[in-house]
Every structure is written in C-alpha cells, then in structure tokens.
Amino acid sequence: MGKGENVTKTTPNFQYIPPNKFEKTRYSPQGTTVIHTFSVDNPKTMWITRMDRKMDHLTQLCARLQEAASASPYAEKKLVFGDGCQNPRLMMIGEAPGGDEEKQGRPFVGKAGKNLSAFLETIGLNREEIYISNVVKLRPTKESPKTGKAVNRPPSKDEIAFFLPFLQEEIKVVNPQWIVTLGNVPLKAVTGDAKAVIGDWHGKPFTLEDGKILFPLYHPAAIIYNRALSETYQEDLMTLKGLLEK
C-alpha cells in the first residue's frame, strides 16, 4: 500500500453500542458499510484506527457470545457485556452481574456501582479510565424460599465453564496492563488455578505469563458480610494505588 493511499474500513455484523446494546448494521449493495477513510501517514489516525479495530473485535466477540448463548440453556437470560475504556491501563473483573446490572445491561451499577465509585476514588481513577467486566455475563439466580422471587447466587461451574473462553478472549482484546479481580471466581478464572483462594492472594501483584499484572482483591460484598475484612481491604486498595502511581 502506497503512502497516503486511502483505506476503507468495514463493520462486522453487529456494531457495539454502549451500554451493551446491539444494532444491526445496514449494508451497501457490495455487502460493506464504510465507516471512514483515512491517510496511513497520519500517526494520530493510525492510533484511532487501532482503537476502531479493537472495538470491532469486541463487537464480534459480543455477537459470537450472544449467538452461543441463544443456542444454550441460557437462551432466555439477558447478557451483560463488558463496558468502559477501550484502551485502559486497568481492567476490573467481577464474578457475575446482579439485579441492577441485569436491568440496565451494564456491569457494576446500582449497589455495585456505589462500591465501584468508592474503589475508584481511593485509587485515584474514574470509570471512564478503566474497563469493567464479569466472568459470567448473566445473572445467576435462585428462588427465594421466603418471597418466591429470584435472588442472586454464586455462578455454577457450568456457567463459569461456558463463559470463561469469552472472558479470556475479552482480556486479550482489551489488553490492559493491570487486571484487578474481585473475589475467588475471577481469581481462579484469570490464573487458571482451581485451588486459588483470595485469602492467600489478595493485596499482592502477580505477573501473569503474558506480562499483565494481576492484583487480586476481596469482593466488596465480602466486606459487608465480614466487617473484619474492611481494614484489610482498605490496606490492599492503598497498596494498589501506590503501585499504579509508580
């Protein structure tokens, strides 16, 4: 390709429209849709193009997951995909969405969003600077014996196994420098260690095989049920803040 030659970029079958809604692409008679044309000798445009490609990869990943889920036992469940900065320094991973996330179609909103805001304030970041996702992309529920309504439960092994390959690809596409896991489920998913326990891993950085840095934290919900962990959790956050400032 010659210098300054125009390049036409096309979309996949779906466009990713935050917060996590799908919209069919309108195709031209040639079967493609032009997004923009750019000059390859413009460094800023090249950076934008790389971000567009990352968005395309996430779009395709979401579409594949939606298709796989529709042919699975989870076909009736609403999926909640990752959300946030497309070129983040830090990616945060929880275990699964709750009721508020299911309603809004976005991770870490409602009560979880308040915990997230407190977390980000402590480490000196805002939501727009990070990428947020969960291991399991649907809300695991059970029937409450008291009310008969759906309530949250931990994700099952089958649910984790179904969504794990998509999380692994999501991490590769987002490509953060830091990964912060919340609780045991994402810790085991990211490390591949089924015996990993947050009590042994929390508050310390670990370099993964691909060079990314893992920093495990207790799940904020654990602090609610065990107030004795509150001081430990705050100390871990301050450790993370110090590492990010280096």
pLDDT in tens, 143-166: 999 999 999 999 999 999 999 999
pLDDT greater than 90 at residue 198: yes
- What is the end-to-end Cα distance of the chain in Å, rounded? 41
Q: Running DSSP on this structure, what letter comes out for residue 194?
A: T
Q: What is the pLDDT of residue 54?
A: 82
Q: Is 47 exposed, middle or buried (0-12, 13-18, 19+ CB in 10 A)?
A: exposed
Half-sphere exposure of 14 (CA within 13 A, CB side): 18
Sign of CA dihedral 62, 65, 71, 73: negative
Q: What is the pTM of this model?
A: 0.79
- What is the per-residue pLDDT across 210-230, written as a single tens digit (0 to 9) for each? 999 999 999 988 887 888 899
**Which of 98, 219, 95 is closest to 167 using CA atoms?**
95
Tokens 């070129």 belong to 87
Rounded to the nearest 10°, the torsion over CA 100, 102, 103, 107 is: 60
